[in-house]
């Protein structure tokens, strides 16, 4: 399963970002391979339609699940339409990764 976590910075010591669609970074973690990567969110600074554009970005990366502090209605709808599970969580990404590895 490929999981994207909205992040405040590119380090695993970062916090889960409250702004799901406008988070500056996404940390991608593959539960099957253990591989991870951090990518800048290309729509973080956009003026409008961040929700649908962020959903499209995550879909293009093969994401199965998204974790963020909050999901707007257009972001969550875009994820739901693609069959992507999403979950609201807050706190350090390092703790979220430990939970996901269990």
How does pLDDT run across 70-86, given as a tens digit for each residue?
A: 999 999 999 999 999 99
Q: How many domains does the chain have?
A: 1
**What confidence tens digit (pLDDT) does each residue in 12-55 have?**
789 999 999 999 999 999 999 989 999 999 999 987 889 999 99
- Domain of residue 77, CATH code: 3.30.420.130
pLDDT computed for residue 102 by the predictor:
67
- Cβ within 8 Å of residue 83, ≥6 positions away: none
pLDDT computed for residue 86 by the predictor:
97
Radius of gyration of the chain (CA): 12
pLDDT computed for residue 49 by the predictor:
87
- Which domain, by its residues, includes 76? 2-101
Give the predicted TM-score (pTM) of the model. 0.93
């Amino acid at each position: 399963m490929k999981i994207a976590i909205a992040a405040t910075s590119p380090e695993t010591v970062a916090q889960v970002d409250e702004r799901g669609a406008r988070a500056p970074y996404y940390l991608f973690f593959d539960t099957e391979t253990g591989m991870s990567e951090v990518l800048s969110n290309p729509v973080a600074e956009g003026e409008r339609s961040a929700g649908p554009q962020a959903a499209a970005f995550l879909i293009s990366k093969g994401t199965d699940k998204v974790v963020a502090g909050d999901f707007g209605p257009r972001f969550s709808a875009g994820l739901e339409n693609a069959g992507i599970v999403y979950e609201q969580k807050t706190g350090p990404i390092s703790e979220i990764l430990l939970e996901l590895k269990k």
